[in-house]
Each structure stands twice: as structure tokens, then as C-alpha cells.
Amino acid sequence: MSEQNEKNVEKKEAAAPEAADQAQEAVQPQEEQAESPNPLLEELETLKKNLSDQEDKYLRLAAEYDNYRRRSQKEKESAWADSKAETAAAFLPVYDNLERALKQETADEAFKKGVEMTMTQLKEILAKLGIEEIPALGETFDPNLHNAVMHVEDESAGENTIVDVFQAGFKSGDKVIRFAMVKVAN
């Protein structure tokens, strides 16, 4: 029996490492499962991240479009203001000529009345476009609005006072279309 016991012990010792290996292999998948999360959880996390990225892209695109819309609106307004100013500037020589014609003495009252009506109509059109004459006569000289072409010493007038207007100036809002050409005292 002792021989047989020895053989059994040897078989058990030889089988023990195999059994230990099998037991360890059986434990390892359980450990791997515990360490690696469920594939559905991984997919959920991936989808959450993708959704977050898409929301971020959407918000950025919306902000970019809003900026584009504002910029386009400003460009349109600027283009409108510039074209309005250029158009008005083209009509200013007509305004000047009508103003000179009104200053001339004439015996023909119908002619004078016609020129006055034409000048009134031109002023109304300029007013509708938001173009106004820059006040000058008797005002204090402002280099942002007036162009001084002459200087005169006059004790009756105050310092930097405009005493004569050679050519009317016009502006549209804050934009000067044409500076008023003036004579300044003192």
C-alpha cells in the first residue's frame, strides 16, 4: 500500500498545480469582469461624450451665426448710410446754385417763386433722408463741422464766432457729408 499511496500522492501533487491553474483561470475572468465595466456602460459613456460634443458644436455654431447676423446688419446699415451720403453730396451743388439764385434780385416774381418752390422741395427731400444742414452763422467755430477759409478781426463778434457762411455744410446723423465753409471772427 505504501507504493500505491506514494503513487496517489504523486498523482495528487502532479494534479495540484493543474487544479490550481484551473482555479486561478476561473478566478481571473471574474476579476477581469470586475475591473472592466459593463460594455453597455462603456457605450453609454461614449454616447454621453458624443452628445456633449455635439451640443458644444451646436452652441458654437449658433453663436457664430448670431455674430454673422449682427455683422451683416451693421454692414448693411453702413452701406445704406454711405450711399445716402454720396447721393446727397451729388445733389449739394444743385442746392448751392438754388441758394445763389434765391439771393439774386429779379423782376420776374413767377421765376423767383419757382426757384423757391424747387429749393423747398429739395430741402424736404434731404430732411426725409435724415440729412440736415449744419448750423453755422453766429455759432462757435467747431473744426469737426466747419471749414474756416477766412479770418477777420471784429470787436462786435465774440471769440471764434462764425460771422459769414460761404457754403452750407450738411451731415447725416453724426457723419459729416460736407463741412460748412465759413469766415471766423477773432
Q: What is the pLDDT of residues 139-171, one digit of tens each?
A: 999 999 999 999 998 888 888 899 999 999 999
Dihedral sign for Cα 93, 98, 99, 105, please.
positive
| Residue 13: predicted pLDDT | 56
| Residue 36: predicted pLDDT | 57
Separate counts of helices (H) and strands (E) for the chain: 3, 6
pTM assigned to the model: 0.63
| Residue 12: predicted pLDDT | 54
Strand ranges of the sheet holding 169-172, from the earlier edge strand across to the other edge? 131-134, 169-172, 175-178
Task: Please say if the pLDDT value at position 5 is more than 80.
Answer: no
* Grid cell locating 81: 448710410
Homologous superfamily (CATH) for 131-186 = Head domain of nucleotide exchange factor GrpE (2.30.22.10)
Task: Please say if the pLDDT value at position 22 is more than 80.
Answer: no
Task: Please say if the pLDDT value at position 67 is more than 60.
Answer: yes
Residue 78: band (very low, low, confident or very high) from pLDDT cuts 50, 70, 90: very high
Higher pLDDT, 70 or 106: 70
| Residue 26: predicted pLDDT | 52
> Where in the chain does DSSP place strands (E)?
131-134, 146-152, 161-167, 169-172, 175-178, 180-185
| Residue 158: predicted pLDDT | 82
End-to-end CA distance of the chain: 141
Mean pLDDT of 22-51: 71
Residue 8: band (very low, low, confident or very high) from pLDDT cuts 50, 70, 90: low
Task: Please say if the pLDDT value at position 15 is more than 90.
Answer: no
| Residue 37: predicted pLDDT | 63
